[in-house]
Amino acid sequence: MQFPINYDFRDILAAPAAAFSAKRILIMTLFLCGALLVYDLFTYFALFIDGEKIRSARSVYGLFPFDSFDFGGVGALITYWAGVALSLFVLMMGMFSVAAFEIESLRSFRFMGIKMAVRFAFRRFKQIFLSHLSIISFLILIFLLFLLYGLIGRIPFVGEWIFSIFFVIPGFVLAIFTVFTVLVLIISIILLPAVAAADRNGETFDSILETFSTIIRQPVRWFLYTAYAGAAAKVCGFVYAYFVFRAVQLTTWAAGISGGEKIADLVKSGANHLPLKSHVTAYTFNLFTQVNWGVDVAEWAKGSSDDSAVTYLMASMLFLIFASIFGYMLSVIATAQARAFVIIRHLKDTYNIPDEKPMFFEEEHVNPRIDQPAEKSE
């Protein structure tokens, strides 16, 4: 272990600082962009299936089609939710990579590279996928049992009696367990990547078991750690967003001294291609969404309306910078989840993950020293 860990809330307090790493922000930003791409493709395809015109839908919803859609067809509804599930899964792969950075760092290996983390994430693709598929399959099985339980009530004369007798046990008990399983399924979106990253063997059952064990045995501690991680991610993300905005302004101003006004026009024209007045942008550049206290990027981008090809390239570069803000925020959450799991695993099982050997580093073999015989003096 390269630095001491306290196994308490002090370790979670340092998560925003640990998450502020170029490789963690970069890898999380790339997976975030991939998740957004998947979501947009499936959402607009679902709207197309539902009879909407892609061009008109694109003008209404833009790059962030985060709205409550009322699809009329089953095919469109299935397509949309399939896109939501796939995009969440891509996001989880990014959080897994960030958690892997943190777990290996706690194991005293702080030089894990981006390619190594990406390969590790795709190698554990099956584990994360099967873990969620197992939980969902279990929920589907319980739902089928409830359907069968409802059919019993249709039996003439005795059906209602049987339904009433078994309403509490096992009906109500099974329903409580089902609600808890659904809650764990939702929580596992942010917790399971950290659990899988700490697992040395990549076993599906182990990741499911540790996820349930964490929530069952330490629910209050996990909730407090996660609540702090969410609040810290928002506050630190706003600070990072402010510096990002000022950095873009500085770059534009400094380059404009020698490049002229066309530099500022190029940056502003590229920014105008982005949804600067969306709810996502307002959430990012304001500390609180209900209070207008932050940076108004829409006002800054006014004054240019160039529509040439190079402005779209500039828009893509500005979007990557903008996405890095959310990349950092998600990196904070993933890092905090990794540290939270390490702490909770120590408290509930007295097992120290930082004492393990790193998975991606082995010390070089050194031959044992051979003592040389002393030379005889003449």
How far apart (Å, rounded) are the C-alpha atoms in residues 131 and 87? Answer: 17
Taking the C-alpha atoms of residue 93 and residue 33, their distance in angstroms, rounded to an integer, is 12
pLDDT of residue 154: 83
Instruction: Return the amino acid letter for 369.
Output: R
Tell me the average pLDDT across 72-79: 86
Number of Cβ within a 10 Å radius of residue 123: 10
Overall average pLDDT of the 334-361 stretch: 89
What lies within 8 Å, CB to CB, of 193 at 6+ separation is 92, 93, 95, 96, 99, 128, 334, 337
What pLDDT score was predicted for residue 378? 42
Q: Which residue has the higher pLDDT, 359 or 16?
A: 16
Confidence of residue 133 (pLDDT cuts 50, 70, 90): very high
Look up tokens 């957004």; give the residue. Answer: 36
User: Does residue 367 surpass a pLDDT of 80?
Assistant: no
The chain-wide mean pLDDT, for the chain, equals 86
Distance in angstroms (rounded) separating the CA atoms of residues 351 and 265: 58
**Cα separation of 343 and 330, whole Å?**
20
Mean pLDDT of the region 121-128: 90
Confidence of residue 109 (pLDDT cuts 50, 70, 90): confident
Phi, psi for 287 (deg, rounded to 5): -65, -40
Q: What is the pLDDT of residue 1?
A: 46
- With CA atoms as reference, report the closest residue to 96 among 67, 144, 62, 131: 131
**What residues form DSSP beta bridges with 286?**
294
Taking residues 222-239, what's their average pLDDT? 94
Residue 304 dihedral angles phi and psi, to the nearest 5°: -150, 145
**Residues 372, 285: Cα–Cα separation, whole Å:** 69
Q: What is the pTM of this model?
A: 0.87
Whether the predicted pLDDT of 97 surpasses 80 = yes
Percent of the chain with pLDDT over 90: 44
pLDDT for 35 beyond 70: yes
Write out the H or E segment, with its range, that includes residue 376.
Answer: none
Domain boundaries, the chain: 9-355
Each residue's pLDDT tens digit, 167-176: 888 888 889 9
Structure tokens at 9: 């809330």
Say how many C-beta atoms besides its own lie within 10 A of residue 267's C-beta.
Answer: 25
